[in-house]
Structure 1
Amino acid sequence: MGFLKTLLAKSPPFLFALLGGLGMGLAPDPFRCWWLAWVALAPLWLLCQRGTLKEGVGAAALWGFGYHGTALFWITGVHPMDWMGVPWGYSLAIALTVWLLITGWGMTLTILWAVVMVRLTPKLPVGAKILLGCATLAGLETLWSWGPLYWTALGYTQSPDNLVGLQLGRIAGQQVISMAIVAVNGLLAESWRARRWRYGVMALGLGGAIALYGVIELAQPVDSATPLKVGIIQGNIPNRIKLRGNGIETAVKNYTEGYRSLAALGVEMILTPETAIPLLYPDPSWQRSPFDQAVAELGVPVWLGTFRRGQSPDFYYNSLVLVDATGSPISHYDKVRLVPLGEYIPLRELLGGIIRRLSPLRGEVAFGASEQQVTSPWGPLIVGICYESAYPAHFRYQAAAGGRLLLTASNNAHYAASMPAQHHAQDVARAVETDRWAVRATNTGYSGIVDPHGRTLWLSGFETTERHAATVYLRDSTTLYVRLGDWVTPLLLVAANGYLMWLVKYPHSDRS
C-alpha cells in the first residue's frame, strides 16, 4: 500500500490510471455509463507504453482497484448478516474482506495484462500493440472464466443498454466485445501519444463498423413460429424472513397463490426463483403440501427452485425441478457454478475449520454435472441458476445441444439493488449470444423477459411481489458463437505468438 501511496503522491499521471478504472467501474449498473468503457482504458494503456515495469504494475493495480472495486461494491450488501446470527461488527468485516478479495482477484488480471504490455509492446508498431493488447486481455478473461470467481469481464459493461455493441457477442461471445473495447481504447491512446490523428480516425471507424453490424442484427426479425405462454413468480421473501420463524410457510403461501393465479391465466409453464421453497425435494413435507396440492389440482408444469438430495446425507444440490400434476419430477437441473464461501468452501481441507460459510445451510451443496442437458415437454432448454449467468460458455454448451429457450432462476435477496441489475445485464448478454428468448425469475428482483436481440420486454420492480404472464418463443437458430464457441481468442493468441516468434528470429527487423 505504501508503494501505491507514493505513486499517487509523486506521480500525478497515476491518478489518471485510478480515474480511468473508476470510469470503467461507472459503465455497468448502477451508473450505466456504458460509453465510458470505450475511453476508460486509455490512461492505463498510455502508462504501460512509457513507464517501467514497476510503474506499469502500480498503474494497473490502481486501475484494477478502481474498476473492479467500484463494479463489485454491491458485494458489501451482504452486510448486515443478522439473519444468520452474525454480529454487526463481524458482518461488516466479512463483507469488506470478501469485497477486497474479489477486487484483488480482478486486479490480478489487470496487472498481468499490464506486465505483457510494458514488457513487449512499447517499441512495436501500433497494429502489433493492438493485436497483443486484445489477445492478452481476451486470453486472461478466458482463463479467469475457468475459475470460481468471474463477473467483471470488460464486455459486460455494455449490457443492457448498448444493444448495438452487444450484438458482437453473436460472433464469438463476450470476449469479442472486450477485444473491441481494448482496440478502441488503444487506438485513442496511440493517437494521443504519437499525435497521429489517423489512429483516432481508425478508432472512430472501428466504432462505426461495430455500430453498423449491430444495427443490421437488430433489424433482423425475431422468429415467432413456436409460442409458449410462460408465467413468472417473484415471491419477494428476503432471506431474513424466509429463514426465520414462519418464513417457510410464508414462502409456500406466496408461491402457491402465485401458481394458482398464473394457472388461471392459461400459462403453459411457470418458473420460480432459486430456492423458492428451500425444502428437500421430492421428500414429503407438510410445509410444502399446499403448493404440491395446487400443482396436483391444476396440472401446469412448474420449475420449482428447491434443494435436491445428493448421493450422501451431507450433500444436496441447488436445483430447479420440473414438477407436473403427478407430483413427480419430470426433469431437473442442478447448479454447476457454486458461489465460493456461500455454497461451498474452497480448499475445504485447509479452510473448513477457519472460514465461517456465508450460508444458512447445514452440510455442503454439491456441484451439478458440468454437461447437463435439460429435457422438457417443450424440447431441450437452456438453464442457469444465479451466479452461472456470468459464464457464457455454460449457456453456449446447452444452446449447441439444442436448447430452445433460456431460463434463469436467482435469489439475489441479500445484495443491494445494483447486483440484481447487473445480474439482469448478464442474462441480456447471454440471450443475445445464444439468440434465445430469456425468462428470468428472481426472489426480490429483477425478474424479466428478454428477446433474442437483448431487448427487455418486461422487468419487475425491486423488492416487490409479482406474477407475470408472457408469450415467448422457442427457437432452433444458431449463432456463430453457438456453433464455434469463442474462436477469435485462440486465433488472436496464435497470431500474437507467431508475431513474437518472428521478432525473436529476426531481432533487427524494423519495429517502428
Structure 2
Amino acid sequence: MNQIILTFFGGLLMGLSPAPNSVFYLAWLALIPLWSNIIFSKNSLKQNLLLGLVWGIGFHGVALFWITGIHPMTWMGVPWLASLLIALFCWIFIMLWGAVLVVVWSFGMTFVKRLCNTNTFKDSLFRIILGVALWCGLEWLWSNTPLWWSSLSYTQSPNNLWILQLSKLSGFSVITASIVAINGLLAESNYYLSRNRSQSYSLLSLALSLLVLLHGLGFYLFQQPLSDTPDKAIKVGIIQGNIPNEIKLYPEGFRKAIEGYTTGYQKLASQGVDVVLTPETALPYFWNDIVQNSSFYQSILQEKIPVWLGAFGVQGNNYTNSLFTVTGDGEIISRFDKVKLVPLGEYIPFEPIFGKIINRLSPLDAHLVSGKTNQIFNTPFGRAIVGICYESAFAEHFRKQTQNGGEFIITAANNAHYSKSMPAQHHAQDIIRAIESDRYIARATNTGYSAFIEPHGRTFWISGINQYQLHFDTIYRRNTETLYVRFGDWLTKLLLISGIVLIVIKKFM
C-alpha cells in the first residue's frame, strides 16, 4: 500500500507540472517513486503494472482534468446529469489512455530489471538507457494515434525555455528523454546511498552534471540572435472574438460574431496591419453564406486588407473546419482544412460500431471530415504553417509543413469548451512548436489565450482570458531549418537501436 501511495503521489507531482502551474521543476523528481518501486522492490509483474497504472492516473488525471470543463452541455440540449456523465466519461477515458502508456513502460521495465539485475554502475546505466528509450518510443507511438496531448516534455512549457531549446535538435523527445534520464539517475543514486556510497555519489554527480549540461546547451541556443530583417516583416492583427459556445451556433452568437469581427477588422485595418487573423470557426458559416449575408465580407471589399478567416468549408456532402486566405478583393486564394480532428468532439472513432451508441459532442448535423496531410497554404506574405486547435499537440504536423517551405506559423483555436487550464496548456504546446521549427507564431483564439511567440519561445504578447481583444504585432518570415525539421525525431530511433544492441549484449555476450 505504501508503494501505491508514494507512486500515486509521484504521478500527482507530474500532473501539477504543466501549465498553468509554474512548478515545472517537479517533473525532474516525479518519476523517482515509480522507477524505484519497479526496479528495486520485489514486486510481481502484476504489481508493477498496477504501479504504472496508478502513476499514470495521477499524472494524466490531474494534467487533463480540464476536459471536465465541457460540462454543462445543456446549451446543446443535453440534460444536466447526462452532461456530467459525458464529461466524466471523457476525463476517465483520456486519463486511462495516457495511463496505458505508463503501464506498458512498467511492463517493459520489469523485464529490464530482470535483464540488468546486478548492483553495478554499468547495469544502472543500462537501465537508464533502456528506460529512456522505452518511454520515448512509447510517446512516439502514442503521438501517432488520434488521441494525444500530454507528453512529459510539455511539463516544461512555457517556463523552462532553456531546456525547451533542445527540441530544435530532435523534437519534444529530447525533453522527454532528459526528464526520464534525470529521474532514473536520481532513483538509482537514492537506492545505492545506503548500499554503495561511491556508486550513489557517481550516479548523483552524473545526474547533476547532465542536468547542468542540458540546461547550459539550452541557454546557449536561447542566446543565439534571431537576425530578422525588415523585408521579412508581417504586421498581423488578431481578433479574439470571445463568443461563448453556449450562443456561438445560434442567432445571438451569429449576430455577435458578425458585429465583433467586422468592427475588429475595421479597427485593425485602420491601424495599418498587413493581414488580420481570426480564430477557429470565427464565423461559423459556409463561405457562400458569408459572402451573401455578412457585413464582414463588405468590410473586406472596402478596407482591402487580407484576412485569414476561420469558417466552414464544403467537401462533397460533408464539411470541414477550415482556415481561408481571403484577399483584399474578397477572393479565396488558399484554404487549409483541419487534419487532426478531436475524437468524440468532431468525429466518432469506429463510427460504424459506436455511431449508434455515442452522439458526437457537437450540435451540427452534417459530418465533419478531416483535411489531407499534404496541404500547402500559400499566402500573399509567403507560405504559412497552419495549426487549427487540437493540431498544436502534433509536432509532426508542423514539421512537415516547415520542411515543405513554411516560413511562419499561424494557429487558430476556439478553447471555449474547457476550463482555464486548457488554454494555458494549448499556449504551452504552441511554444514548443515555435522552438522546434524555429518559426514565429501568431495565434488567435476565441476566448484566450491569443498570443505572439518568437522562435526561442518567448511570448511577446498574450491576451487575457474570456475577453474581447484586438492586438497587432510583427512576426517575421524565416527560412532556417533545425535538425528536427531536417531529420525528424532521430533521437528516439537512435535510443531504440541502442536499446536493442544493449539487450543483445546482455543476453548473449
- Per the TM superposition, whether the score is higher than 0.5 is yes
Deviations 1:257-285 (A, max 9, x none): 01000001110011000000010124555
Name the residue aligned to 2:57: 65
Provide the rounded CA distance (Å) in 2 between the counterparts of 1:281 and 1:343. 20
Deviates more, 1:16-25 or 1:235-244: 235-244
1:388 aligns with 2:391: yes
Q: Deviations over 1:153-195 (max 9, x none)?
A: 0001100000011011000000110000000000000000112
- For residues 283 and 465 of structure 1, the distance between their equivalents in structure 2, rounded to whole angstroms, comes to 24
Could you list the runs of 4 or more consecutive aligned residues of structure 1 that deviate by over 3 angstroms after TM superposition? 282-287
| Residue 290 of structure 1: aligned partner | 295
Separation in structure 2 between the aligned mates of residue 104 and residue 337 of structure 1, nearest angstrom = 21
Match of 2:465 in 1: 462
- Measure how far apart 1:214 and its partner are: 1.2
Deviation of 1:111 after TM superposition, in Å, equals 0.3
Q: Separation in 1 of the partners of 2:375 and 2:266? A: 30
User: Which position in structure 1 is the counterpart of 2:204?
Assistant: 200
Aligned residue number for residue 302 of structure 1: 307
What is the Cα deviation at residue 55 of structure 1? 1.5
Deviations 1:461-491 (A, max 9, x none): 0000000010111111111101111001011
For residues 2-61 of structure 1, the C-alpha deviation after alignment (integer angstroms, 9 at most, x for no partner) is xxxxxxxxx212211000000000001232310000000010000110222111111111
Q: Deviations over 1:88-136 (max 9, x none)?
A: 0000000000100000000100000011111123552011111111110
Structure-to-structure mapping, 1:409-448, within 5 angstroms: 409-448=412-451
**TM-superposed deviation, 1:348:** 0.6
Match of 1:228 among 228, 234, 255: 234
* Cα separation, 1, equivalents of 2:187 and 2:374: 42
Q: Which amino acid aligns with 2:342?
A: V
Q: 1:229·1:471 contact (CA, 8 Å) conserved in 2?
A: yes
C-alpha distance in 1, partners of 2:238/2:14? 33
Q: Confirm whether residue 270 of structure 1 aligns to residue 276 of structure 2.
A: yes
- Residue 119 of structure 2 is matched in structure 1 by none
2:38 is the counterpart of 1:48: yes
Aligned-partner Cα distance in 1 for 2:288–2:450: 26
Tell me the alpha carbon deviations over residues 290-329 of structure 1, each in whole angstroms, 9 at most, x when there is no partner: 000000111111000000001x22x111000010122221
User: Residue 95 of structure 1 corresponds to which residue in structure 2?
Assistant: 87
- Over 3 Å counting, the alpha-carbon distance change for 1:201 and 1:157 in structure 2 is same
Cα-to-partner distance string for 1:389-436 (whole Å, 9 max, x where unaligned): 000011011111111111100001011110000000000000000001
- 3-state DSSP of counterpart to 2:251: coil
Give the structure 2 partner of residue 154 of structure 1: 152
CA contact (8 A) 2:291 2:297 kept: no
For the aligned residue pairs, the C-alpha RMSD in angstroms reads: 1.0
The aligned amino acid for 1:241 is: I
Structure 2 CA distance for aligned equivalents of residues 284 and 452 of structure 1: 35
Of 370, 373, 377, the residue aligned with 1:374 is 377
Match of 1:499 among 490, 497, 502: 502
Distance 1:238 1:32 in 2: 28
Q: Does 1:180 align with 2:184?
A: no
> Quick one: which of 240, 259, 262 aligns to 1:253?
259
Whether the 8 Å contact between 1:282 and 1:328 is mirrored in structure 2 is no
- 1:223 and 1:406 map into 2 onto residues whose CA distance is 18
Name the stretch that deviates more: 419-428 or 213-222. Answer: 213-222
Instruction: Tell me, yes or no, if the aligned pair for 1:223 and 1:475 is still in contact at 8 Å.
Output: no
Partner Cα distance (2:250, 2:320) in 1? 22
1:337 is aligned to 340
- Comparing 496-505 and 159-168, the one that deviates more: 496-505
Contact 1:121–1:128 (8 Å) recurs in 2: no
Q: 2:167 aligns with which of 150, 169, 172?
A: 169
Name the counterpart of 1:8. none
In the alignment, structure 2 segments of 5+ residues that lack a partner are 117-122, 194-199
1:480 matches 2:470: no
2:282 and 2:501 map into 1 onto residues whose CA distance is 52
**2-structure distance, mates of 1:428, 1:184:** 23
Q: CA deviation at 1:246?
A: 2.1
Greater CA drift, 350-359 or 440-449 = 350-359
- 8 Å contact 1:282–1:308 — kept in the other structure? no
Matching residue of 2:222:
218
Secondary structure of the 1:416 match is coil
AA aligned opposite 1:349: P
Structure 1: runs of 5 or more not aligned: 1-10, 507-512
Contact 2:290 2:297 (C-alpha < 8 Å) held by counterparts: no
- Residue in 1 that maps onto 2:197: none
Amino acid at match of 2:8: L
Q: Distance in 2 between matches of 1:130 and 1:455?
A: 32
| Alignment partners' CA distance in 2, 1:453 and 1:248 | 38
Which deviates the most, 52-61 or 63-72?
Answer: 52-61
Alignment of 1:1-20 (within 5 A): 11-20=1-10
In the alignment, what sits opposite 1:237? 243
**In structure 1, how many angstroms separate the alpha carbons of the residues matched to 2:392 and 2:507?**
41
1: CA distance, partners of 2:113 / 2:132 = 12
Q: Offset of 1:346 from its aligned partner? A: 0.5
